[in-house]
């Protein structure tokens, strides 16, 4: 995946460039140009890892299931995950999304709980972010659970439109 992400201001004749690192250049006025595809060393700040998608189809209420897993080496990582799913009927229940170090386990320290009313076949997105200090290589899981809590029972199908990305921040 080779991609240059650039956010720029309108051109200015009084521009000065200052290299911050090998892959980041800041200009005045602020222009950030960053090329993560250049970073191939997992120990370098800015290195990105991409999670593995796990498809599922369940009927609510369901036990916690893994949407994504991502293997990370030692370091401090910003983990960002977006899940996407549809329901085959109108859904009204509590959705729980978590980032955890154990498969199919809700981590109460990094959790979002949302009461959801979803029409049939509509796509639902939810995003969660957390910082993990990995003392040894291990996995981070994006865990999803739909609790009935008096709501309606429907089939929930995961969709591949989400993602899970970890960026080394220290």
pLDDT > 80? residue 61:
no
Check residue 97 and give its pLDDT.
92
Q: Structural domain of residue 19, as residue ranges? A: 5-38
- Tokens 């036990």 found at: 63
- For residues 13 and 58, membership in a common domain is answered with no
160/127 same-domain check: yes
Domain of 62, CATH number, reads: 2.60.120.660
Nearest to 97 by CA among 134, 125, 55: 125
Q: Choose between 126 and 156: higher pLDDT.
A: 126
Residue with tokens 């220290």: 170
Asked whether the predicted pLDDT for residue 111 surpasses 50, the reply is: yes
Same domain, 68 and 138: yes
**Same domain? 67 vs 136:** yes
Which has more confidence, 150 or 51? Answer: 51
Residue (of 116, 50, 40) closest to 82 by Cα position: 50
Which of 36 and 125 is assigned the larger pLDDT? 125
**Residue 163 · residue 49 · CB < 8 Å:** no
Express each pLDDT in 13-23 by its tens digit.
Answer: 444 444 444 55
Cα separation of 32 and 84, whole Å? 30
Residue 81, domain member (yes or no): yes
**Lowest mean pLDDT, pick from 18-22, 46-50, 73-77, 113-117:** 18-22
pTM metric for this prediction? 0.73
Residue 120 and residue 85 share a domain: yes
Say which residues have a Cβ less than 8 Å from residue 62's Cβ, sequence separation at least 6: 145, 146, 156
Residue 132 pLDDT class (50, 70, 90 cuts): very high
Least Cα distance to 140 among 72, 74, 78 occurs for 72
Q: Tell whether 143 and 72 lie within a shared domain.
A: yes
Dump pLDDT digits (tens) for 66-102. 889 999 999 999 999 999 888 887 777 778 899 999 9
């Amino acid at each position: 995946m080779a991609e240059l992400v650039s956010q720029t201001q309108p051109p200015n004749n009084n521009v000065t460039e200052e290299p911050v690192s090998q892959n980041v250049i800041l200009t005045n006025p602020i222009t950030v140009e960053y090329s993560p595809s250049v970073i191939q060393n997992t120990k370098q700040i800015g290195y990105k890892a991409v999670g593995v998608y796990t498809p599922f189809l369940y009927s609510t209420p369901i036990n916690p299931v893994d949407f994504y897993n991502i293997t990370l080496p030692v370091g401090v990582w910003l983990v960002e995950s977006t899940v996407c799913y549809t329901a085959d009927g109108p859904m009204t229940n509590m959705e729980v999304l978590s980032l955890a170090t154990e498969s199919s386990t809700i981590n109460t320290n990094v959790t979002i709980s949302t009461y959801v009313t979803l029409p049939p076949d509509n796509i639902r997105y939810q995003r969660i972010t957390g910082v993990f200090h990995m003392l040894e290589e291990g996995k981070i899981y994006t865990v999803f659970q739909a609790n009935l809590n008096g709501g309606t029972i429907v089939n929930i199908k995961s969709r591949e439109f989400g993602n899970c990305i970890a960026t080394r921040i220290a």
